[in-house]
């Protein structure tokens, strides 16, 4: 338990989770300072975390709680560290997760820098995750949130020991319904505010148009190939396709076809049967472990490759610096390069990384993603 009476900087998005987090900490005796990160100009009509309404909601909550509130402008950092790699990954035919990068560089990067400048020891967010200290091994543990339907530990695997030591997740041990009840009891005007369902900087969910507009890259037509290499159609740009996609392929084969892989080097989209989309192993790079130490030998763990997807048991095998090979006990459907793979041991996060390439369940040697696709 981190010490009450200390000052804590709370990232307040204007949503119910971060608002209740600030209220809980104040009730526990912390000196609370609220801060809202201005990260993207989404327009006044957008009600998500980076819109004008979000900033105003956070300001109203802070006033209601009687705590100071500040807005810090991180738009340049957000564009360089989040928007740019997100768009570049999509242009490479990958499936990136910008929330992971945002947590790494902004919420637990820039926020801690701001806390240091203000002489504040702790930072807090409204994430549904938990932190526990294991005294026997003298290590901080990152654990799943109590509400399994809202658990956000998947997005936090990159947190290290120093960050966990200084971080508090006040709602991690609560369910979403408990958070809303607490907000109502406190009289907070955002008690019934819906949660954000989309990536904050793409309000309409149209990633393709956003990436093209931001990058200015003109998409080029290319071949649609069967898994046997035969040309069966033409696509109008690889950015319009994702692994596992069935609709909108523009080809007919007398049976359902799915996107199996995207080959950036050949500007090709590869399609096959539903069975062809199953993956039996994959390589990860940019791997980090919460303990700060990469294991020297194979370990058993559970792996999650998409938020809220069930975990799968696997062998996690070191494969060089910050890299591992993951061999699944059972093939998993729809694994794509660019996704985050997060490793668990029951409810404890071991670590995670970015999927670089995959091996199809029915393939002996072919790896997808090695050449950028």
Active site residues: 102, 200
CA contacts within 13 A on the Cβ side of 240: 16
Strand order in the sheet with 222-226: 231-235, 222-226, 268-272, 258-263
| CA 276 – CA 79 distance, rounded (Å) | 36
Tokens of 218: 């003109």
Tokens of 215: 């990058």
- CA-based nearest residue to 109, from 180, 163, 150: 163
| CA 281 – CA 295 distance, rounded (Å) | 19
| CA 340 – CA 337 distance, rounded (Å) | 9
Degrees, nearest 5: CA angle 70-72-76? 170
Compute the Cα dihedral for 230, 232, 237, 242 and give only its sign. Answer: negative
337-364 burial, b at 16+ Cβ within 10 Å, e below that, comes to bbbbbbbbeebbbbbbbbbbbbbbbeee
- CA-based nearest residue to 202, from 93, 362, 347, 42: 42
Tokens of 262: 């995207």
Cβ(30)–Cβ(67) under 8 Å? Answer: no
Angle between helices 207-215 and 84-91 (to 10 degrees): 110
Q: Is 88 helix (H, G, I), strand (E, B) or coil?
A: helix
Q: Is 371 helix (H, G, I), strand (E, B) or coil?
A: coil
| Tokens 């590869």 belong to residue | 270
Cβ(132)–Cβ(27) under 8 Å? Answer: no
């Amino acid at each position: 338990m981190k010490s009450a009476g200390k000052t804590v900087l709370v990232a307040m998005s204007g949503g119910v989770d971060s608002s209740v987090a600030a209220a809980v900490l104040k009730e526990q005796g912390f000196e609370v300072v609220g801060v809202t990160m201005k990260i993207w100009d989404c327009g006044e009509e957008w009600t998500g975390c980076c819109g004008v309404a979000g900033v105003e909601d956070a300001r109203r909550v802070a006033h209601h709680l009687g705590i100071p509130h500040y807005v810090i402008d991180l738009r340049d950092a957000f564009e360089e560290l989040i928007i740019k790699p997100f768009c570049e990954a999509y242009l490479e035919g990958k499936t990136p997760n910008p929330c992971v990068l945002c947590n790494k560089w902004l919420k637990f990067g820039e926020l801690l820098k701001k806390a240091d400048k203000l002489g504040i020891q702790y930072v807090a967010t409204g994430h549904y995750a938990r932190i526990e200290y294991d005294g026997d091994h003298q290590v901080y543990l990152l654990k799943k949130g109590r509400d399994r339907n809202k658990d956000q530990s998947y997005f936090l695997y990159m947190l290290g020991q120093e960050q966990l030591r200084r971080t508090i997740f006040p709602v991690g041990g609560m369910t979403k319904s408990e958070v809303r009840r607490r907000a109502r009891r406190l009289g907070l005007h955002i008690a019934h505010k819906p949660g954000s369902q989309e990536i904050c900087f793409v309000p309409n969910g149209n990633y393709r148009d956003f990436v093209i507009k931001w990058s200015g890259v003109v998409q080029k037509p290319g071949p649609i190939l069967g898994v046997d290499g035969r040309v069966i159609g033409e696509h109008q740009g690889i950015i319009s396709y994702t692994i596992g996609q069935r609709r909108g392929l523009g080809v007919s084969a007398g049976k359902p076809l799915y996107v199996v892989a995207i080959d950036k080097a050949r500007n090709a989209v590869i399609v096959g049967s539903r069975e062809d989309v199953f993956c039996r192993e994959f390589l990860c790079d940019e791997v980090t472990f919460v303990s700060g130490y990469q294991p020297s030998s194979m370990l058993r763990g559970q792996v999650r490759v998409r938020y809220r997807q069930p975990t799968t048991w696997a062998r996690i095998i070191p494969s060089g610096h910050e890299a591992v090979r993951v061999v699944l006990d059972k093939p998993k459907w729809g694994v794509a390069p660019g996704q985050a793979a997060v490793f668990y041991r029951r409810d404890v996060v071991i670590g995670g990384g970015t999927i670089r390439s995959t091996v199809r369940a029915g393939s002996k040697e072919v790896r997808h993603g090695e050449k950028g696709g």
